[in-house]
């Protein structure tokens, strides 16, 4: 099994990288886990809608190039919210037919329509807005939680 997080931008803060690395280490007994960081595009100050669209589309093209085989889950605000138990069940169902799950996190402007169309499922972490570094950490933790639930192992509630 392979779990990939394909994301735009790098995390600068060591404490966030360390926390994500901790969940990657824990996930290692369940699946191969990899974070694929793509370059973020510079957004001009006071960017026009056309300039913003160009950035989203360029980042989207990078994401589409990075996607390999497997089931793709796009994280976006209009996605479906799932409880941890529902997410675990979905993960189990997906992995019955696919050996890889690709989670996609866009840049600060979000995901392109092309990436959303390419996704097999759209997932929301909730109605709140999270900085991407925090969203990536929450995602890594929830993926780990899914595997713990599916293994019938205890994990703090």
Tokens 């026009």, located at residue = 48
**pLDDT (tens digit per residue) in 99-129:** 999 999 999 999 999 999 999 999 999 988 8
Region 136-157: mean pLDDT is 92
Burial of residue 2 (CB within 10 Å: 0-12, 13-18, 19+) is middle
Distance CA 49, CA 86 (A): 37
Distance CA 123, CA 13 (A): 25
| 157 has a pLDDT exceeding 70 | no
pTM for this predicted structure: 0.94
Band of residue 53 on the pLDDT scale cut at 50, 70, 90: very high
**pLDDT (tens digit per residue) in 62-101:** 999 999 899 999 999 999 999 999 999 999 999 999 999 9
Q: For position 156, what pLDDT does the model report?
A: 62
Q: For position 129, what pLDDT does the model report?
A: 86
């Amino acid at each position: 099994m392979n779990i990939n997080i394909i994301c735009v931008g790098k995390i600068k803060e060591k404490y966030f990288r360390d926390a994500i690395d901790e969940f990657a280490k824990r996930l290692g007994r369940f699946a191969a886990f990899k974070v694929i960081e793509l370059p973020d595009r510079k957004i001009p100050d006071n960017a026009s809608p056309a300039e913003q669209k160009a950035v989203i589309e360029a980042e989207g093209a990078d994401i589409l190039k990075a996607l390999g085989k497997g089931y793709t889950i796009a994280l976006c605000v209009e996605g479906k919210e799932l409880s941890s138990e529902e997410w675990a069940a979905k993960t189990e169902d997906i992995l019955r037919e696919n050996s890889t799950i690709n989670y996609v996190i866009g840049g600060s402007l979000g995901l392109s329509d092309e990436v959303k169309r390419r996704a097999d499922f759209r997932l929301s972490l909730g109605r709140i807005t999270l900085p991407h570094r925090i969203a990536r950490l929450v995602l890594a933790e929830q993926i780990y939680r899914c595997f713990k639930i599916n293994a019938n192992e205890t994990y703090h509630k």
